[in-house]
A = this chain, B = another copy of it.
């Protein structure tokens, strides 16, 4: 089995660590020569090749690069692969990439996927063992993939000990806007705001508790990865942001008017998240 991973960063590198096995060769492809070299040095991949060469000899090709580049490169990869090669992507938006290949003659070799796993770090050094363990993997529009391609990608996620769920690509983008992309914006904006408003940075260091650290954690995430996600999912995310801003204004109004009981009502509603997230 020869697996090519395009993008040797946090996700690609962690996949490499999770998928190594007897009779598995892992090839890294990265347009960032520094990352490719590092991935080899760190032992994440067995070899580094140019995309064209790698595509020809691979049984499975995993695209783990920012979603704009992924959408661009996927049709070109499908142009080049053999009949049996399976291609999958790990992007956080699914409708755009599915649309980009909807009429491609090798559409059925492609499985659109999104493993819900990550950290706020990036690059080959951020790769960790067990990143995907017990997390959820979403496979989108599975009926558009061949049985063989689907089974290959399902096997991959099972090897990583992931739970698989299936979803339409549009539905995926809608739900993930609410549950993931919105929280990234809220955290990025918290970081931005605190740095802007708190001129005395020593006080951020002094007074930040674990609560602030937890809320602002995602503000450390990679702009290169997240900008294309936000742009591709602009429609759903924008709607979510409208409601988020409305709710913030409600909260601010309650605080400005010192309406303690009304503040409690809002917080008690928010507390309901406990039922769902441990």
Q: Which of A243-278 contact B (CB under 8 A)?
A: 243-245, 247-249, 251-252, 255-256, 258-261, 263-264, 266-274, 276-277
**Contact, CB under 8 Å: A266 / B188:** yes
Cα distance, A220 to B214, chains bound together (Å): 13
**Contact, CB under 8 Å: B184 / A272:** no
Cα distance, A268 to B137, chains bound together (Å): 29
**Contact, CB under 8 Å: A256 / B238:** yes
Task: Identify whether the interface residues of A are mostly helix, strand, loop, or mixed.
Answer: helix
Q: Does A241 contact B (CB under 8 A)?
A: yes
Cα distance, A239 to B196, chains bound together (Å): 12
CB-CB under 8 A for A189 and B244, given A175-B198, A277-B213: yes
Partner-binding segment picked from A14-22, A74-82, A226-234: A226-234
Residues of A in contact (CB 8 Å), total 94
Question: CB-defined interface of A196-233 with B at 8 Å, one 1/0 digit per residue?
Answer: 11101101111111111111111111011011101100
Closest Cβ of chain B to A254, distance in Å, is 8
Q: CB within 8 A of A220: which of B176, B208, B239, B273?
A: B273
**Contact, CB under 8 Å: B264 / A227:** yes
Cα distance, A206 to B175, chains bound together (Å): 10
**Contact, CB under 8 Å: B175 / A200:** yes
CB-CB under 8 A for A191 and B272, given A258-B231, A277-B212: yes
Residues in chain B near residue A264, CB distance under 8 A: 223-224, 227
**Contact, CB under 8 Å: A201 / B256:** no
Residues in chain B near residue A240, CB distance under 8 A: 193, 197
Question: CB-defined interface of A98-122 with B at 8 Å, one 1/0 digit per residue?
Answer: 0000000000000000001111100
Q: Could you say how many copies of this chain the assembly holds?
A: 2
Residues in chain B near residue A211, CB distance under 8 A: 118, 120, 180, 183-184, 187, 217-218
Cα distance, A201 to B11, chains bound together (Å): 27
Cα distance, A271 to B242, chains bound together (Å): 24
**Contact, CB under 8 Å: A207 / B219:** no
Q: Does A5 contact B (CB under 8 A)?
A: no
Residues in chain B near residue A270, CB distance under 8 A: 187-192, 195, 219
Residues in chain B near residue A42, CB distance under 8 A: none
Cα distance, A196 to B217, chains bound together (Å): 24
Residues in chain B near residue A260, CB distance under 8 A: 68, 227-228, 231
Given A191-B273, A196-B247, A221-B267; 9 other pairs, CB 8 A cutoff: A136-B207, A175-B206, A178-B198, A180-B211, A189-B244, A197-B243, A223-B264, A238-B255, A241-B255
Q: Which 6 pairs of residues, A with B, have the shortest CB-CB distance?
A: A223-B267, A191-B270, A183-B215, A191-B273, A223-B264, A227-B263
